Amino acid sequence: MASEVTVRLVGIAKAFGETKALKKCDFEACAGEVHAIVGENGSGKSTMAKIMSGVLRPDTGEATILGTTIKTPIDAKTVGLATIFQEVLVAEEASVLDNLYVGRDGFFEWRKSSGKRRAEAQALLDRLVGQHVDLSRNVGDFPLSVKQWVVIARAILKSPKVLILDESSAALDLDATVRLHDEIDRLRKAGATVIIVTHRIAELVRIADRATILRDGVTVGVLEKADINENNLLAMMTPADRKLSGAAKDGKRKTAENRRVVLEVTKTIAQRGSAPFDFAIKEGSIVGVAGLDGQGQDAFVRALARIVAPFGGDAKALDSGRNELVLMGGLEDAARLGVVYVSGDRKREGIFPQQSIFENLAIGIYKKNLGSLGIIRRGKLKQMFSREVDRLRVKIGRPDNRITSLSGGNQQKILIGRAFANNPKVIILNDPARGVDLGTKRDLYRELEIFAEQGGAVIYLSSEIEEFLGFADRVDVFHHGRIYRSLEGDQINEETILAAMFGRSEADVVEFTSERKVH
């Protein structure tokens, strides 16, 4: 590539105690390019981003940005690097405007008049959020999605020469992702280097000019734009001795005749003020749940799992012993009837941060493994633990380490393992593949297909349309708080799902559909 190299990592190694997060990492990115860093969960991507940002010092090797060696966060800031980390860090009690300019007390910052800074911030934030945001209101008054945009806007307002986005789109819905991509494009055209860490294949294909692949802390290669596709990425990311699941999502799953309904709700109201609707799922089915942000689908699946109280309607689940549907009141009923929930928002409603990896996986099945004197059969739990860790290829150190010592994606795998370990009948997953690597996503679809083949039922909410294709038997699309369309068979394609998400009929084509298509 002819442009100037702006970011260079040479021979980087970094260990945390016994864990060698990076062993031999080399990396180069240029001005005016979007460069992706790709690798399995725990392969060292965030560690790399932290070294570039000066947050971590490498044990060996050197990181230079625009010719300057980076040793501290101040070095990185001075050369014009901004990083958006996964955590949403905002001061809830301060105004949006103050949050956008927090930490910007350098002399040059204040040369701009406050009027100009406000106007700049207003234009950017309105563009990102997709609607007008009152900058004088406290950040705490806004939903999480706006807080996330504040964090992103804060970095962009610095007009960075190098911008690092570490999984910043993981929680964004489709509409929001398109707006973020437009902004990334603007920066690239202005000559900035944009480095993205992502597991979203559609995102990589759409916006990355090049991709560097990490495997187990070692740089294994760089792909040019034309070669960035799922197969190439998987082949490079995955160690040769590890077998990937066969063609997952082949859509050929057979389902038994005379299947029983395992979960149903009638006259349910997903969002205050919206119309009631019914929902049912049978044994052996995989039902996808889709919708743009805030259309009620998230509240719906959480209410279905009894994580929150529903606004209306009764839920019934199959009691296998009695072979009839019985009322499912609260969480305890759900657990007894084998209805389990996996959240993609692991920090808010998933992990127990003070507990070990082992306890986080085994929680919930302790009771089932009590011996005659109430003593936990630890041997049995250990067996289950090893089985789930192997099955989902979780990269762990010692099982009694705290769960927070794991990389983000590996924490998510522990939550998925916990759901399977409970021997459920119905698994409700709320965007479970957030931050999970490509290979594991495939394995997860395969495991869920096997679960359905054996008679289980799967309800799978995703913010990525690609996840449903060749996988779900039905996709219920939410719009304005209710199921707007239930799509089956050939209707499960990108265009039709997208049209329904925008509240349009099948015949309508959504404007940016062709642009978003995976090439």
CB of 253 to ligand ATP, least distance (A): 29
Which distant-in-sequence residues (6+ apart) come within 8 Å of 94 by Cβ? Answer: 102, 138, 139
Residue 263 contacts residue 281 (beta carbons within 8 Å): yes
Closest residue to ligand ATP, Cβ-based? 409
CA–CA separation, 159 and 200 (whole Å): 25
Contact between 58 and ligand ATP by CB under 6 A: the answer reads no
Q: In angstroms, what is the minimal distance from the CB of 308 to ligand ATP?
A: 28
Q: Are 480 and 503 in contact (CB under 8 A)?
A: yes
- Span of 41-49, 138-146, 333-341, 425-433 interacting with ligand ATP by CB under 6 A: 41-49
Neighbours of 55 (CB within 10 A): 16
Using CB under 6 A as the binding rule, whether residue 409 contacts ligand ATP is answered as yes
One of 12, 33, 38, 47 touching ligand ATP (CB under 6 A): 47
No. of helices (H) and no. of strands (E), the chain? 17, 20
Minimum distance, C-beta of residue 408 to ligand ATP, in the bound complex (Å): 4
Residue 338: name the closest of 249, 419, 228 by CA.
Answer: 419
Task: For residue 165, state whether it binds ligand ATP (rule: CB under 6 A).
Answer: no
Of 164 and 459, nearer to ligand ATP (C-beta) is 164
Residue 470 Cβ, how far from ligand ATP at the closest point, in Å? 24
| Cβ proximity to ligand ATP, 360 vs 410, nearer residue | 410
41 contributes a contact to ligand ATP by CB under 6 A: yes
Q: Under the criterion CB under 6 A, does residue 44 sit at the interface with ligand ATP?
A: yes
408 near ligand ATP, rule: CB under 6 A = yes
Total residue count of the chain as it appears in this document: 519
493 binds ligand ATP (CB under 6 A): no
Read out DSSP for 84-123?
Answer: E-SS----TTSBHHHHHTTT--STTGGGS-HHHHHHHHHH
Name the pairing type of β-strands 60-65 and 5-16.
antiparallel
User: Among 7, 31, 34, 43, which residue sits at the site for ligand ATP (rule: CB under 6 A)?
Assistant: 43
Specify which residues 15 forms β-bridges with: 20
Q: In the range 377-396, which residues lie near ligand ATP by CB under 6 A? A: 395
- The HSE-up count of residue 149 (CA atoms within 13 Å, CB side) is 30
| Min separation Cβ 185 and ligand ATP, Å | 24
Longest dimension (CA), the chain: 75
CA distance 263 to 97: 47
Between residues 12 and 303, which has the closer beta carbon with respect to ligand ATP?
12
Applying CB under 6 A, among 16, 110, 352, 512 the residue interacting with ligand ATP is: 16
Q: Residues 6 or more apart from 318 whose CB is under 8 A from it? A: 260, 261, 262, 263, 283, 324, 325, 326, 337, 425
Tokens 């209710």, residue? Answer: 482
The CA-atom distances, in angstroms, between 241 and each of 103, 214, 236, 238, 390 are 48, 16, 12, 8, 14
User: Does 39 engage in binding with ligand ATP (CB under 6 A)?
Assistant: yes
Shortest Å, Cβ 410 to ligand ATP? 5
Q: Which stretch binds ligand ATP (CB under 6 A): 45-53, 132-140, 241-249, 462-470?
A: 45-53
Task: In angstroms, give the least distance from the CB of 412 to ligand ATP.
Answer: 8
Among 64, 78, 405, 493, binds ligand ATP (CB under 6 A): 405
- Should residue 481 be labelled a site residue for ligand ATP when binding is judged by CB under 6 A? no
Least distance (Å) between residue 58 CB and ligand ATP: 13
User: Binding string, 304-333, against ligand ATP, x = CB under 6 A?
Assistant: ------------------------------
Our finding on whether 407 is near ligand ATP (CB under 6 A) is yes
Which listed range, 28-36, 43-51, 271-279, 459-467, lies at the site for ligand ATP (CB under 6 A)?
43-51
Cα 498 from Cα 468, distance rounded (Å): 12
The gap from C-alpha 203 to its chain's centroid, in whole angstroms, comes to: 12
Closest approach, Cβ 212 to ligand ATP, in A, equals 12
- Nearest residue (CB) to ligand ATP, 161 versus 200: 200
Question: Which is closer to ligand ATP, CB of 291 or CB of 409?
Answer: 409
**Which residues 6+ apart lie within 8 Å of 42 measured at CB?**
395, 406, 407, 409, 410
E strands in 138-273: 162-166, 193-197, 210-215, 218-224, 261-268
Q: Which residues bind ligand ATP (CB under 6 A)?
A: 16, 19, 21, 39, 41-47, 395, 405-410, 435, 437
